[in-house]
Amino acid sequence: GYPTISPTLINGGIKHNIIPDTCEVIFDIRTTPIYDNNIVIEKIKRLVDCKIEVLSNRLKPIETKNNEFVKIAEKVCDSKPTGFLALSEMCFFNCPAIVLGPGFLEQAHKPDEYIEISQLEKAKNIYKEIIIGFL
């Protein structure tokens, strides 16, 4: 897929009727295996005359579609993997990995977050089948 870029913080000016001499924008940029961090930064530099300061530079995502573990998970889950527009610890391990767990993304990281017991049971069975398939 394509990277995403979202302006998450914009600062500039001191008053509504004075043109500011500077503007600072912080972007949350989520890259992909095809468009890694360095490619995106270079594209921005070519388009805009600006100073770029990288606040957090995560490792390049690893493409996993041909990985044996991923293929087993696809078979067990009966679905194809999709991109995940969030951050996980996977970027620190520098190895193929998947995000697979119980619950619904719509409910994650919100007040009163919960997981239904049926989702835990389903996840337990999926993990068991993946482990058996991998052995």
Residue 112 region by backbone torsions, left for phi larger than 0, else alpha for psi between -120 and 50, else beta: left
pLDDT above 70 covers a percentage of the chain that reads 91
The CA-CA-CA angle for residues 70, 73, 77, to 5°, reads: 140
Q: What is the CATH T-level fold of the domain 68-134, as seen in this structure?
A: DNA polymerase; domain 1 (1.10.150)
The confidence band for 55, taking pLDDT boundaries of 50, 70 and 90, is confident
The confidence band for 32, taking pLDDT boundaries of 50, 70 and 90, is confident
On the question of pLDDT at 131 being above 70, the answer is yes
Cα gap 104→75, rounded to integer Å: 21
Please state the domain extents for the chain. Answer: 4-47, 68-134
pLDDT in tens, 82-127: 776 677 777 777 777 788 889 888 888 888 889 999 999 999 999 9
The confidence band for 62, taking pLDDT boundaries of 50, 70 and 90, is low
pLDDT above 90 covers a percentage of the chain that reads 35
Contact (Cβ atoms closer than 8 angstroms) between residue 62 and residue 33: yes
Contact (Cβ atoms closer than 8 angstroms) between residue 72 and residue 65: no
| Beta strands at 23-30 and 4-12: parallel, antiparallel or unpaired | antiparallel
Cα gap 39→2, rounded to integer Å: 12
Cα gap 134→76, rounded to integer Å: 11
